[in-house]
Amino acid sequence: MRCLRLCGVIVLLAAACLALAPLSHASESAPEGQAEHHLGAQLPLWSTIPFAGILLSIALFPLAAPRFWHHHYPKITTAWALAMAVPFLFSYGQLAWGEIAHIYALDYIPFIILLWGLFTISGGILISGTLRGTPALNSAIILIGTALASWIGTTGASMLLIRPLLRANAWRKNKSHIVIFFIFLVSNIGGSLTPLGDPPLFLGFLHSVPFFWTLNLLPHLMLVSVILLTVFYAWDTLAYRREMAASTRATPAETTERTPLRIEGLVNAPLLLGIMAAVLMSGIWHPGEIHLGPVHLGIQNLVRDVLIVAMGLLSLKLTPKDLHQRNEFTWEPIREVAILFAGIFMTIIPALAILKAGTDGSLGFLIRRVQEPSHYFWITGSLSAFLDNAPTYLTFFNTALGNFFGGLPEKEAVALLIEQQNIYLIAIASGAVFFGASTYIGNAPNFMVKAIAEENGVPMPSFFGYLLRYSLPILGPVFVLVSWVFFSA
């Protein structure tokens, strides 16, 4: 088995070397923006094969070989990352080092730090008490989670509320739909209003999109949330009535002694607010930069990340261990996300460079056809459903910049995009956030919620079952309506 895995890595590396080695070197002496544009204009489309490979691995291995994937996903992720990095460094040398350092220092590390902070602190808050899983209560929990998601993150809101929701419905037979609508709204769509809410919006914030710009998505969020909550309440009411009519015994909530609703670990609440304050601070305070080789690090971003880590560590110190145990808190969900995204961010470099080159890149034929806001909404959204919405947002964010303001420095281009073509950025942001709910791989919390539900005995549908039985028939018509209302010419 070890030999087979080693051969697989060698084959991947060899294939990537054959793809990239013939390419000429991009000019390493050109200014940063021009060199990156030149790089993207030279890279062939097949240089994105490792990116497609890692995402297809995430989608297919858990279905075809779940045990193998569970034990070996770090090796598979590393193999795809090396398949891109080794030939890329061989072909482009210093320029490649700069691109890799740039995406990890400015995108991946802050992204994972924020997710870790929200995951850690929310895991220290326990909601307990006698809760009876009625349609009204379930709708209320999902509504609260939808409202919280923009402020404590889809990860934070999901981890805070999924276990109380599961405990409240432990006695019910049919509850898969409850978790699925929770994923729709709490783990994805609810995170539309701030960069804290969903990873793609945070990446946009890191790339010069103002913190409160995301409030532009409020009308879209309201329309989708009202429709989905109405559908959920009707669905859960029918399921609840069927269960009650078929039941000949009282529910556990009726036969056990009632205990009042209790929230423990409230010492973590100000820490969640502290993360929000740290992110907001990094968007309005600009004391200067630190230059580490090719990477220019904003001092405010370093301070933000240090504060988030400090608050996470403080949460671990202040939260009693028995509370974590009663909340069934483990590190595996965030570990999996960190490993998978480390590979994704490495392999996405060629795709980003190609798209930043605009019509001069290998995807020029596609960029020339993506013209209307509705095009951006659907292409960003459709790919977000299968390729994970954070890197997909970043990809088409750069597509729009290259299409309208190719060659300009990023900060200047983003300001002009918001000033002159704001509807395009709204289409990209809403597509990435909303469509992330379409599959299990669309957003990081989807993985976590599914895993926790299955640990608690909820029979969750397969990847394609989720897609064909739930997201396509439910979310599809809603997204068509959003496109028609907000992005039609």
Instruction: Look at residue 28 in the predicted model and tell me its pLDDT.
Output: 46
**Number of CB atoms found within 10 A of residue 149's CB:** 32
Q: Say if CB 139 and CB 177 are below 8 A apart.
A: no
Note the helical H segments in 268-409.
Answer: 269-284, 299-318, 321-326, 332-347, 349-356, 364-369, 373-387, 389-405
Q: Is residue 262 helix, strand or coil?
A: strand
For 200: left if phi > 0, alpha if psi spans -120 to 50, otherwise beta; the answer is alpha
Tell me which residues of the chain have a pLDDT lower than 70: 1-38, 247-258, 387-388, 489
Q: Say if CB 83 and CB 16 are below 8 A apart.
A: yes
**Nearest 5°: phi and psi at 329?**
-80, 125
Instruction: Look at residue 47 in the predicted model and tell me its pLDDT.
Output: 86
What angle separates helix 2-20 from helix 66-103, to the nearest 10 degrees? 40
Provide the whole-model pTM: 0.80
Q: Tell me whether residue 476 is exposed, middle or buried, using C-beta atoms within 10 angstroms of its C-beta: 0 to 12, 13 to 18, 19 or more.
A: exposed
Residue type, 243: E
Instruction: Look at residue 250 in the predicted model and tell me its pLDDT.
Output: 53
**Number of CB atoms found within 10 A of residue 322's CB:** 10
Gap between the Cα atoms of 375 and 199, Å rounded:
22
Alpha carbon 463 to its chain centroid, in Å, reads 17
User: Which residue is listed with tokens 């981890």?
Assistant: 159
Instruction: Look at residue 22 in the predicted model and tell me its pLDDT.
Output: 46
Instruction: Look at residue 27 in the predicted model and tell me its pLDDT.
Output: 44
pLDDT tens figures, 139-183: 999 999 999 999 888 988 998 899 889 988 988 888 899 999 999
Instruction: Look at residue 156 in the predicted model and tell me its pLDDT.
Output: 83
Residue 372: DSSP 8-state: S
Across 248-257, b (16+ Cβ under 10 Å) vs e yields eeebebeeee
In 3D, which of 432, 426, 444, 400 has the Cα closest to residue 487?
426
In 3D, which of 474, 425, 487, 479 has the Cα closest to residue 200?
425
Instruction: Report which secondary-structure segment, H or E, holds 204.
Output: helix 199-206
